[in-house]
Structure 1
């Protein structure tokens, strides 16, 4: 399947994730929730951490920082073969954590079945980076079903309605500024997982160097004439506080002084779920259209 079809089906993937999760819930007493994994699985955890605050901790790498029988661990690995996810799964088993695995197959699925651990099997055949809505919304619904978070369906419905907007037309117009550039993606703190997704999609789809960061310009000053090869995308939350507004304005001025071209994208959404995923959806389209420019 061409990747633009995955993007068009993003709202359908959200609906299917909710449907597949059904009434799945965790009934034991839970004090802490971890989402562990790598790549898109870790990103799903980071988005949940941003969206739900201190209710969730996203963990990457190979070491489990903490955990016990009252820790709920979601092991998120679409392929089931991420070494980090496998290592963290084994660490969670040793610590006696409550485990729910999310995967379409691979070593993780085999281990979950062998150890009789609970699991939600995702549909096979997706591109790994297209699995984000399945990973995120499956976990979100399990947390809701388990009474760990408040009801989410109204927010999910609002997001699906928003994604019916023709984002691809705006995205296609945006691409001309990015051709031949190394892309720097700067964001306010709340949108940092979105910036990471944009970076990942530029790297994977368009196969170009790109970097995501919170505002820190001092490291760029030594690049001299090379700076003409950069283009900065500044992702800005319209509802961010004055401190964030000042920081982002400083970033924009800094790029101007360094001679780096930049584009500011202001995310104007009233609820946090739509804010995060509408920006991700736009980034997916931009990365796809940019990839088409490089393949012609």
Structure 2
């Protein structure tokens, strides 16, 4: 089946591939826009943070609104305070007035994130907020909280660049990290160059994303990360779920070598139906890199088709987002192979409707 522009025009009615192609612009424009907004909305560079230097960081979000936090924190190993990403209704018990809490909800209506923002206030925190509008933005305006507005109207997962850069700018304003102008510019430039190699007009024979999508077609997808690539593995898993409407799972090294590897030993028909992708990065270190290679080799011996995919780029930011870009393209091409418009998430919307129905 052809995966060129004609197939995209036929199936991708909502334009998800065009949004994937805009990741570089999201990084560049999102970073500049968020920094400008924070400069206008706060008094002085420390107003995002508690009065004293924060003693901890908690980012609250769900789904596409949370993955940016995982990615940004993976890019900032030098942050010296405890940091957590909360996917749920409750804050950790250690959160107090000196904790920096950042609530991220693309729509501004994510109930778990709104609950965390409210509970942060009860703990004496003044949470920073990132949203396109909705109840979270209204809360920020009513309480005089620092917040960043991102452009709305799409799917949260398609705004990963904007959401990530808004968070990065907030952490800079809170003095938890320095400026990242150069890294953002380098990452955006690399993504723009790589986009030409992954776009629909690029032939299958010279397009890594199309080739990989065909490998994954009609297979069980398992994505493994190691160190800084763990959040990217989570991103790939979610993108296959939402864009391709297909099952996918993720795990991380070295943990999987202590348990999951055994799960492929007794059901050869399951092993032969799966593809394992190992995402690696030089920042993970030699030992984790060796584990990825050896584990992939063992999986092949057990009948699981395996591939090691190395991040490329001059900085963590560039390398991790280059992997995000590749995974986003792969998931969209897989959707085209299945005849699925990548954008709609009908099952998720139906579940949310049922959850909000008191009679449900």
Q: Please, what TM-score do these two structures have when normalized by structure 1?
A: 0.93
Greater CA radius of gyration, 1 or 2? 2
Q: 1:189: Cα distance to partner?
A: 2.0
User: In structure 2, which of residues 194, 203, 208 is the aligned counterpart of residue 170 of structure 1?
Assistant: 208
In the alignment, does 2:137 pair up with 1:114?
no
Q: Which residue of 2 aligns with 1:199?
A: 237
**How far apart are 1:142 and its partner, in Å?**
2.4
CA distance in 1, matches of 2:33, 2:282: 34
Structure 2 counterpart of 1:235:
279
1:254 aligns with 2:298: yes
CA offset at residue 230 of structure 1?
Answer: 0.7
Shift of 1:239: 4.8
Match of 1:34 among 35, 54, 58: 58
RMSD value, Cα: 1.8
The higher-RCO structure (CA 8 Å, 6+ apart) is: 2
- For 1:163 and 1:45, locate their aligned partners in 2 and report how far apart those are by CA, in whole Å: 20
Structure 2: stretches of 5+ with no match in the other structure = 1-13, 39-44, 199-206, 341-360
Distance, in Å, in 2 between the alignment partners of 1:12 and 1:246 is 35
Give the corresponding residue for 2:162: 134
- SS of match in other structure, 2:221: strand
**1:265 equivalent in alignment to 2:309:** yes
Of 60, 78, 84, 2:87 maps to 60
Partner of 1:99: 127
Partner-residue secondary structure (3-state), 2:230: helix
CA contact (8 A) 1:26 1:142 kept: no
- Name stretches of at least 5 consecutive residues in structure 1 with no aligned partner: none
1:8-47 CA-to-partner distances (Å, cap 9, x unmatched) read 1111222221232234243332322221111122211211
Partner residue in 1 for 2:344: none
Match of 2:3 in 1: none
Residue in 1 aligned with 2:70? 46
Query: SS of 2:223's equivalent?
Result: strand
Residues of 2 paired with 1:26 and 1:119: CA distance?
Answer: 14
Alpha-carbon distance in structure 2 between the residues aligned to 1:256 and 1:114: 57
2:311–2:323: 8 Å Cα contact kept in structure 1?
A: yes
Give the Å deviation of 1:243: 1.4
Deviation sequence 1:94-130 (CA, Å, 0-9, x none): 1111311111123322333333323212111121111
